[in-house]
Amino acid sequence: MAVSAFAARKAARRPIEEVTSQNKVQKSPVTETYNDPFQESKPPRKKQKRANESRNRSLRQPQRKDGLINARDGSLEEIAKAIESSIESGSGSDSEPEILVQSMVPVQRLSTFDISKSKVLSETETEWSVRLHPNDSLAILGQYDLWVRSGAISILGAVIHASSRLHRVFAPSTHSIPPILPVPNPFGTGNAPIELTIISCGSRIRLLRQIAPKFGRIWNGRQHSKSSPELSKRSFMNIQSTADDPHHRPLRVLETPPDWQRTVSRLQSIKTERSVAVMICGPKGAGKSTFCRILANALLQRWPAMGNRSMPDNECVAFLDLDPGQPEYSPPGELSLLRLQSWNLGPPFTHPTSGLNRLVKAHHLGHVSPKENPKYYYQCALDLFDHYRRMLREYRSCPLVINSAGWIQGNGLELLSDLIHGMSLTNVVYMSTSGPEDVIDTLQEVTSRSDVTFHQVVSQSSDFMTRTAGDLRMMQTLSYFHMSESEGIYHDVRWNPGPLTRVAPLVVHYAGPKQAILAFQILGDAPDCQFLDTCLDSILNGCVVGVVAVDQSLGTLVQEYDSGGGVELDESMPDEVMNTTHHAPILRTATEIPYLSTSTRTTFPLSPEKSVSLGQALIRGIDHNKKTIHLLTPIPATTLQARSPNILLVRGSLDTPTWAYREEFELEKAKRRLRDRKLDTDEGFDGEEMRRWAEGRPWAGVVEGGRRGSGKVRRIRRDIRYRPVGEVSE
């Protein structure tokens, strides 16, 4: 885990009063006395950076390695068991350097819960039962099952009252920790004591750190206690303040500003014949996704049936996800409409699919931003909203929450305005009070013309983000491809922590009598047929593609218009051009790989009305001899068989899955550290060993030379010359 040097310097230069003032919205904030070592004298920036680095090195505490298992070379399952037995010892290592912020910001009190015998009812190796008083707030870091035994509590906007049901909660350090707060029970006795039990759970998502360093040090560390040695076996920890964190991370509790609470209450209390349809918009990093979770959870809590029995089919909340870069219930690059029937109590990478919720329809955009093809994005959004209208025929009181993208300036503002005008919305919430002024003025004008109520709330602070947007996309994609079958009556998600290279692929014929797919499609500027004839397999091999089912009985499949990156929507796309549709011819390469082609320079996206996304797949290899492709995907084989052969594999501009090429390498490093009892370091392979490892894997290569031409091996990368499956090397 790392904080950028810029953020660290920024935090070091900020007065303590400014830092602590941001936490005044908490229920009962407490800031401990702290003397800022940089307050008295502020050296020049370069010298200050060196001072910070030396001070950070001196503050590093060696991690305790008590009870580690010395696992020798063996099967992956043996390694996984060894790691699980020492569950989150706190010594999992990141591959990136960690800048400690302990000396740069005040110690923050995260929980007002007082650990005393009167409040702690019982505790074991895996459970912790407590009684909450009205002014208590409880911060739990890690993953756990929440059981409300009496009374009612609130977490992430969801009001959970006493029942026999367990609620799975994921609270990693990558996001703000959701506090557990006592509330008057709206469905029971108001004076009933509030008692709850926190239970350890084993979803195996923490084991992903052995194949992806970005998953390291995001859960609870080992709690060392002479009086309670069993604490180290829990998958969670009660964290009173940032000083309790063994990794010294910049933890913070999720703050719900007063205007957020007022806006959510107003939207909950709307009682009209027209169903509530709310769009959340705003700049990047403003807290749109967090607000959407809180709002959707709050709207679901209207019905008391959730705690004791399954929710009736006519009680739900619709969720329209229009953010392809940070989607909530799908891998990046997708737009989706879901019917929610369960609370969302974790960040997106802990539920990369719909789970208990029902996926109504999804479209594969193929990009992480709508600016790559705003017209197609607009059409997909309207198609999904049209499906919501059809839902209202059966679920008349189903409200809609729309999570929009963070592209709000220039053409993005025009696209957002068109969406507000084209949808029958009731409310728009803008997540910023500091502008940009032209954006606010435009949205107020558009909502006024469309008879939509406009709300403006403060944005969420993101000073100490430990993962970038790209990191979170990678984690969500990796989580998606490592999902295994759900288990339990609540279909809890589980993950396979082994490298994808050890997973048996799905073999699909692309030619011959057993052909199971229609063709491939390359989005964007399409190269000429001569280039594709020789290089298509290199373009496809080792990339992530969208698995899209099409309905050929409806006629045309693609719409022919320019994707137009930065061209204005209303002038560059006349209706007669936009509505021009064609049957895309299917051509084949010399190795008989089928692909969609058009007569112009651009490959046109599929018609939203005639296509639906089934998910995504990673192309592991192409066997030209057997005319098959090897796919790695969590999509059930029965789903693909039911749609075959009307399936297109769509190649867009999604992030290259470099994490997939490095998984086995990272696992070997983790096994060596575990064997040598060096889990607190990043020691693994030196440059020569790394080179030998890459040479033995046809899908990987090495990048030679450092920034100053040192000639050292810097990193593993994808080898685009990767030999297809079945091809014999020379």
Q: Residue 189, CB half-sphere, CA atoms under 13 Å: how many?
A: 5
Query: Which one has a higher pLDDT value, 96 or 613?
Result: 613
- Domain finish residue from 618, 653, 688: 653
Q: What is the pLDDT of residues 641-653, one digit of tens each?
A: 999 899 999 999 9
**Do 526 and 439 belong to one domain?**
no
CA dihedral 539, 543, 544, 549 (to 10 degrees): 40
Distance of alpha carbon 269 from alpha carbon 489, whole angstroms: 33
> Is the model's pLDDT at 699 over the cut of 70?
no
- Whole-angstrom CA distances from 665 to 478, 501, 575, 644, 661 are 15, 11, 52, 35, 8
Structural domain includes residue 477: no
Contacts of 534 (CB under 8 A, 6+ apart): 589, 590
Please determine, for residue 669, whether its predicted confidence score (pLDDT) is greater than 60: yes
Q: Read off the pLDDT of each residue in 135-144 and give the average, rounded to a whole number.
A: 92
d(CA 468, CA 628): 37
- 559's tokens: 């719409």
Specify whether 81 is located in the same domain as 105: yes
> What's the average model confidence in pLDDT over 112-125?
83
CATH of the domain at 349: 3.40.50.300
| Cα(525)–Cα(547) distance, integer angstroms | 20
Residue 342 lies in a domain: yes
Residue 718 lies in a domain: no
Mean pLDDT for the chain?
76
Q: Which of the two residues, 24 and 154, has the higher pLDDT score?
A: 154
Same domain? For 549 and 538 the reply is yes
**pLDDT tens for each residue of 69-106:** 333 344 444 555 554 444 444 333 344 433 333 345 57
Q: pLDDT for 302-317, tens place per residue?
A: 544 444 444 444 478 9
**pLDDT computed for residue 289 by the predictor:** 93
Q: Bridge-partner residues for 700, per DSSP?
A: 718
Q: Which of 508, 469, 470 is nearest to 656 (CA)?
A: 470
pLDDT of residue 559: 56
Torsion of CA 366, 371, 373, 376, to 10 degrees: 90
In terms of C-beta density within 10 A (0-12 exposed, 13-18 middle, 19 or more buried), how is residue 75 classed?
A: exposed
45 and 189 both lie in a single domain: yes
What pLDDT does 509 receive? 94
pLDDT tens digits, one per residue of 163-205: 899 999 999 999 999 999 998 765 555 566 799 999 998 788 9
Per-residue model confidence (pLDDT) at position 606: 85
Question: What are the CA-CA distances from residue 603 to residues 472, 563, 596 (Å)?
Answer: 29, 9, 8
Question: Per the domain annotation, does 721 fall within a domain?
Answer: no
More confident site: 64 or 531: 531
| Average pLDDT score over residue span 513-521 | 92
- Which of 224, 255, 286 corresponds to the end of one domain? 255
Mean pLDDT, residues 248-260 taken together: 90
pLDDT value at position 677? 61
End residue of a domain, out of 630, 653, 676: 653
Structure tokens given for 475? 């984690």
Residue-level pLDDT at 61: 38
CA 167 → CA 78, 186, 198, 310, 411, distances in Å? Answer: 30, 19, 10, 13, 42
Query: Coil, strand or helix: which one is 138?
Result: strand
pLDDT value, residue 691: 67
Q: What is the pLDDT of residue 356?
A: 81
Ramachandran angles phi, psi of 413, nearest 5°: -65, -40
Q: Which pLDDT belongs to residue 220? A: 84
**Mean of the pLDDT values across residues 678-685?**
50
> Residue 236: inside a domain, yes or no?
yes
157: Cβ contacts below 8 Å, ≥ 6 apart: 256, 264, 293, 294, 295, 296, 297, 298, 301
Taking residues 373-396, what's their average pLDDT?
A: 93
- pLDDT (0 to 100) of residue 550: 92
Residue 487, in any domain of the structure: no
pLDDT at 147: 95
Instruction: Report the distance separating Cα 484 and Cα 711, nearest Å.
Output: 41
For residue 360, pLDDT beyond 90: yes
Q: Residue range 425-431: average pLDDT?
A: 95
Provide the terminal-to-terminal Cα distance of the chain, rounded to the nearest Å: 42
Most confident among 42-46, 584-588, 677-681, 708-712 (mean pLDDT): 584-588
pLDDT at residue 531, as a whole number: 76
Q: In a 10 Å sphere around its CB, with 0-12 CB exposed, 13-18 middle and 19+ buried, how is residue 40 labelled?
A: exposed
Shared domain check, 141 and 225: yes
Q: What is the mean pLDDT of residues 592-605?
A: 72
Query: Given a cut of 50, is residue 588 above it in pLDDT?
Result: yes
Going by pLDDT thresholds of 50, 70 and 90, the confidence category of residue 668 is: confident
**613 and 548 co-located in one domain:** yes
Residue 690, pLDDT score: 66
Compute the Cα dihedral for 151, 154, 157, 158 and give only its sign: negative
Is the model's pLDDT at 473 over the cut of 60?
A: yes
Of 176-190, 380-394, 514-528, 543-557, which has the strongest mean pLDDT? Answer: 380-394
Q: Is residue 365 part of a domain?
A: yes
Q: Specify whether 509 is located in the same domain as 646.
A: yes
Contact assessment for residue 690 and residue 716, using Cβ atoms and an 8 Å cutoff: yes
Number of domains present in the structure of the chain: 3
Going along 124-275, which residue ranges are E strands? Answer: 127-132, 140-150, 152-155, 158-161, 167-171, 181-183, 194-200, 236-238
In a domain, 661, yes or no: no
The model's pTM is 0.79
Higher-confidence residue of 545 and 115: namely 545
Which amino acid makes up residue 434? S
Question: Which band of pLDDT confidence, cut at 50, 70 and 90, is reported for residue 222?
Answer: low
Could you tell me what percent of the chain has a pLDDT over 90?
A: 43
The region of weakest confidence among 121-130, 565-574, 650-659, 660-669 is 565-574
| 582 and 611 both lie in a single domain | yes
Residue 251 sits in the same domain as residue 267: no
44-49, long-range: CB within 8 Å, 24+ apart, which pairs? Answer: 45/9, 48/9, 48/12, 49/5, 49/9
The residues that bridge with 427 in the sheet, in sequence order, are: 278, 453
Domain that includes residue 162, residue range: 1-255
Q: What is the mean pLDDT of residues 29-49?
A: 37
**For residue 279, how far is the Cα from the chain centroid?**
20
Q: Are 32 and 106 in contact (CB under 8 A)?
A: yes
Residues 183, 300, single domain; the answer is no
Specify whether 338 is located in the same domain as 443: yes
Contact 278, 401 (CB under 8 A): yes
545 plus 625 within the same structural domain: yes
Quote the Cα angle for 453-458-463, to 5°. 150
